Amino acid sequence: MSRTPKAAELPNRIQELRLASGMSLEDVAEAVGSTSSTISKLERGRLRLTSDWMFRLAPVLGAAPSELLPQAQNEVVTEQLIALDASSLLPKATVEPADVEIPATSRFSRDLPVLGTAGGAVIRQVDGFRMEHEVVDYVRRPPALAKQMNAYAIFVVGESMAPMHNPGDLRFVDPEQRPSIGDSVVVQTKHYNGDPGQGYIKLLKRRTPTNIVLQQLNPAAILEIPTQYVVSVHKVLTMNDLFGV
């Protein structure tokens, strides 16, 4: 018949603290969202007592996380546990919410046009699309575009700019803002009369007197387009741009 190990023989103080609190294995298991079998294994050292388990069990047992360990180990790891405890590591918040009304989305006019896009050919590993200049939908107009009547949105096609711009993502574009180097841009090109045109959502790498240079992420590629074929270069707005931050 197996005997119940003494507290000094156990690898931690979970059982000691549990019994002192008058709790059963089932009580502790229910409180931490586990099973009595798992708690028993933790008590006997058959399951490793990680810092995650310590922070889950400590409040239930009415102890600090470090108090779940035997005294000798407690002294060694207390400093590490304090560093893991976000409430001990971080100062109390001193920032108060600004006295600014957060506008409800219902107050944003649903009048910003979404222009259609379709998958285009891959040219030298550069993924493009065809810009359809017909409106396929209308979405709510972000605050920063309240007066930009030429602004529009597109749905991203292809994975060439993931994870920055994933397939199906909605992106807002402002033709009135001049893009800077490093910005995401929508570039439209035409190579001959009657050409339906090609569109690209890329990063603006640099400009030269004769070319515009774009960067693609997947697969990594650089696209140089002669300026004579460039119809427009429009900035893709960031979240900061959209909300006037």
**Of 89, 122, 143, the domain-final residue:** 89
pTM of the model: 0.55
Query: Which of these ranges, 80-84, 174-178, 197-201, has the smallest mean pLDDT?
Result: 80-84
- The answer to whether residue 102 is domain-embedded is no
Q: What's the domain count of the chain?
A: 2
Amino acid at 239: M
204 within 8 A of 178, measured Cβ to Cβ: no
3-state secondary structure of 117: strand
pLDDT value of position 76: 46
Average pLDDT, the chain: 80
pLDDT at 110 over 70: yes
Query: Where do we find the tokens 């270069």?
Result: 233
- The answer to whether residue 210 is domain-embedded is yes
- Of the candidates 184, 226, 229, which has an alpha carbon nearest to the alpha carbon of residue 202? 184
- The answer to whether residue 34 is domain-embedded is yes
- The answer to whether residue 53 is domain-embedded is yes
172 within 8 A of 142, measured Cβ to Cβ: yes
- For 112-150, write each residue's pLDDT tens digit: 999 887 665 555 567 777 777 788 889 888 888 888 889
> DSSP assignment of 173-201, as one string?
EETTSPPPTT-EEEEEE--STT---EEEE
Q: What residue numbers bound the domain in which 46 lies? A: 7-89
Same domain (yes/no): 150, 210: yes
Query: Cis omega before residue 5 (within 30°)?
Result: no
CA distance 39 to 25: 6
